[in-house]
């Protein structure tokens, strides 16, 4: 796991408190350790009941919520927390990445991250939602990524093509960012599985093809085809 240095973390408002609600201890520990490294105050809970009690006592600024919890649904928990504190930033973390699931969660949440996740991306997305919900905070600026008429804002995780906004899911964004960072090079499917989904030895998976088709549908609506296929090898940008 690679992380920006503590100098970048110091730019985050040190009063920001994050509530992590995750029933898998190993995942909760990784999230808590990484967020604390970046100088967030972190509380952890493994159930809906524990989370509600913690939130009432400490009033967190952001909550990272697993969708499937032993005693309830993380989305229902998010609604209850948001009702108690409308300015609370909500990020859902789940193994489910079906479009309907994502759209449903983003109907009232601020972001949606699928498992397995990249921990640096979780930290960056937490900062991004806090920027939107706490605009007075000082958060580190990152220069945008650019490729031809495409621009990816690394601070807000937004995408524009030819000046027009492109609405992407977190997984679509991560895939596009990795392609952009590799410029015009063809990226093997196995490399995409490792770096975007953290999958190993699963070349038979069709998840890459599925998300490439999602990206093409959204990007090609705003300009000429951008993503190329090298059959039997991988994908790149034209």
Phi (first) and psi of residue 65, to 5 degrees: -115, 125
For 7-57, what is each residue's pLDDT tens digit? Answer: 443 444 445 889 999 999 999 999 998 898 888 889 999 999 999 998 988
User: Is residue 138, in this structure, part of any structural domain at all?
Assistant: no
Residues near 34 by beta carbon (within 8 Å), at least 6 away in sequence: 1, 3, 119, 120, 122, 123
Q: Is residue 9, in this structure, part of any structural domain at all?
A: no
Under the banding of pLDDT at 50, 70 and 90, the label for residue 203 is low
- Quick: pLDDT tens for 216-229: 999 999 999 999 99
Report the domain count for the chain.
2
Range of the domain at 117: 17-133
Q: What are phi and psi of 63, to 5 degrees?
A: -130, 130
For residue 7, tell me if it sits in a domain.
no
Q: Are residues 200 and 152 in the same domain?
A: yes
The answer to whether residue 163 is domain-embedded is yes
Q: Please indicate, yes or no, if residue 11 is contained in any of the structural domains.
A: no
Task: Give the separation between CA 238 and CA 234, rounded to whole angstroms.
Answer: 13
What is the model's pTM? 0.53
Strand order in the sheet with 187-188: 187-188, 234-237, 227-230
Tell me whether residue 102 is in a domain.
yes
What's the CATH code of the domain at 186?
1.10.10.10
CATH number of residue 86's parent domain: 3.40.50.2300
Query: Do 129 and 153 have their domain in common?
Result: no
């Amino acid at each position: 796991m690679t992380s920006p240095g503590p100098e970048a973390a110091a730019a985050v408002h040190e009063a920001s408190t994050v509530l992590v609600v995750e029933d898998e201890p190993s995942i909760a520990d990784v999230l808590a350790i990484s967020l604390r490294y970046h100088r967030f105050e972190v509380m952890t809970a493994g159930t809906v009941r524990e989370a509600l009690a913690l939130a009432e006592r400490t009033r967190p600024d952001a909550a990272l919520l697993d969708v499937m919890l032993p005693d309830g649904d993380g989305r229902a928990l998010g609604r209850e927390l948001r009702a108690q504190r409308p300015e609370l930033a909500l990020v859902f973390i789940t193994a489910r990445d079906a479009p309907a699931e994502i759209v449903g969660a983003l109907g009232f949440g601020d972001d949606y991250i699928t498992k397995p996740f990249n921990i640096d991306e979780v930290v960056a997305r937490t900062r991004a939602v806090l920027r939107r919900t706490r605009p007075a905070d000082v958060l580190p600026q990152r220069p945008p990524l650019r490729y031809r008429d495409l621009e990816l804002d690394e601070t807000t995780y937004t995408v524009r093509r030819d000046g027009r906004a492109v609405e992407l899911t977190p997984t679509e964004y991560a895939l596009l960012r990795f392609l952009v960072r590799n410029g015009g090079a063809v990226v093997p499917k196995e490399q995409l599985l490792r770096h975007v989904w953290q999958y190993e030895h699963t070349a038979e998976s069709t998840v890459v093809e599925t998300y490439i088709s999602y990206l093409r549908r959204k990007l090609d609506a705003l300009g000429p085809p951008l993503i190329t296929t090298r059959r039997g090898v991988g994908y790149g940008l034209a």
